[in-house]
Amino acid sequence: MTQPTVSLNDGRQMPQLGFGVWQVENGQATGIVKEAIAAGYRSIDTAAVYRNEEGVGEAIRQAGVPRADLFVTTKLWNDDQGFDTARRAFDASLKRLGLDDVDLYLIHWPTWKRDAYADTWRALIKLKEEGRAKSIGVSNFNIPHLQRLFDETGVVPAVNQIELHPRFQQKELRAFHAEHGIVTESWSPLGQGTLLKDESLAAIARKHGKTPAQVIIRWHLDNGLVVIPKSATPSRIRENVDVFDFRLDADDMRAIEALDDKEGGRIGPDPELFT
């Protein structure tokens, strides 16, 4: 299966569809991630705080796919922000994963009240220079946080991974990303499953002979977003990657655009308050 990729601002390519493993137990992660790789996913999104990096690393070794064909993302947890602590946390993540490098390393949250994210970013810049984090980015950063990174270091994150789904479309932040060459990656792309009963999405799904989950994933892809749906159920893992045989039309895109509840659609924590 040839899957689409997006170009990052450092010249590298990233698969547009990936597999998220939040709330997957370490003991189950190996089986579930192997299932995902067998189903066709080539990008895996974990984080130190998910406590499943060992299980994910084991899946990568057992999957029978060359390491070079996989795109592995992990994230630095808030307690480890700061220049030296971030470097140590990165080493610990690589050790748990059993890898020599990751494809993408993200600062998980700005936690701006700690005032450590700019120094943390300097540590990530050095990890990239050393080639151990092949690309670097952030997660849950708002415009002022991003602006501060540009102003202080001149290095623009390759990716900002943010909550994004049809009820919370983040148009202003997406426009800022586009202006500055930052790829937008959607977390909780299915609204943690809450969107799957929506009648207008169900109608679009019937029209295409697909499921609501597939329609939502297609909406992210058709908007040029990177999307990382999660499931621990093998049939749904396969369903969520079976999205490359249809496209949404202009009517579908308009109907989904109308579902945006702006700030009211947010499900997860607000980065302004999560400190």
Binding residues: 108
Q: 52 and 21 in contact (C-beta within 8 Å)?
A: yes
Burial of 254 (0-12, 13-18, 19+ CB in 10 A): exposed
142 is a site residue for ligand NAD (CB under 6 A): no
Q: What is the dihedral of CA 44, 75, 267, 253, to 10 degrees?
A: -50
215 is a site residue for ligand NAD (CB under 6 A): no
CA 232/CA 248 separation, integer angstroms = 26
Q: Please identify, using beta-carbon distances, which residue of 157 and 189 lies nearer to ligand NAD.
A: 189
CA 258/CA 84 separation, integer angstroms = 46
Q: Please identify, using beta-carbon distances, which residue of 232 and 253 lies nearer to ligand NAD.
A: 232
Minimum gap (Å) between residue 241 Cβ and ligand NAD: 10
Size of residue set near ligand NAD by CB under 6 A: 25
Binding pattern for the stretch 182-211 against ligand NAD, x by CB under 6 A and - elsewhere: -----xxxxxxx--x---------------
- DSSP, res 17: B
Binding pattern for the stretch 149-178 against ligand NAD, x by CB under 6 A and - elsewhere: ------------x-----------------
> Does residue 50 have an active-site annotation?
yes
CA 245/CA 96 separation, integer angstroms = 37
Phi/psi of residue 20, nearest 5 degrees? -95, 145
Candidate ranges 30-38, 144-152, 231-239, 248-256; the one touching ligand NAD (CB under 6 A): 231-239
Minimum gap (Å) between residue 244 Cβ and ligand NAD: 15
52 is a site residue for ligand NAD (CB under 6 A): no
CA 140/CA 165 separation, integer angstroms = 14
Q: Please identify, using beta-carbon distances, which residue of 28 and 251 lies nearer to ligand NAD.
A: 28
CA 23/CA 15 separation, integer angstroms = 22
CB atoms within 10 A of CB 95: 12
Nearest to 93 by CA among 53, 127, 126: 53
Candidate ranges 26-34, 115-123, 232-240, 241-249; the one touching ligand NAD (CB under 6 A): 232-240
Residue nearest to ligand NAD (CB): 20
41, 50, 105, 117: the catalytic one is 50
- Contact set with ligand NAD (CB under 6 A): 20-22, 45, 108, 139-140, 161, 187-193, 196, 213, 228-231, 236, 239-240, 268
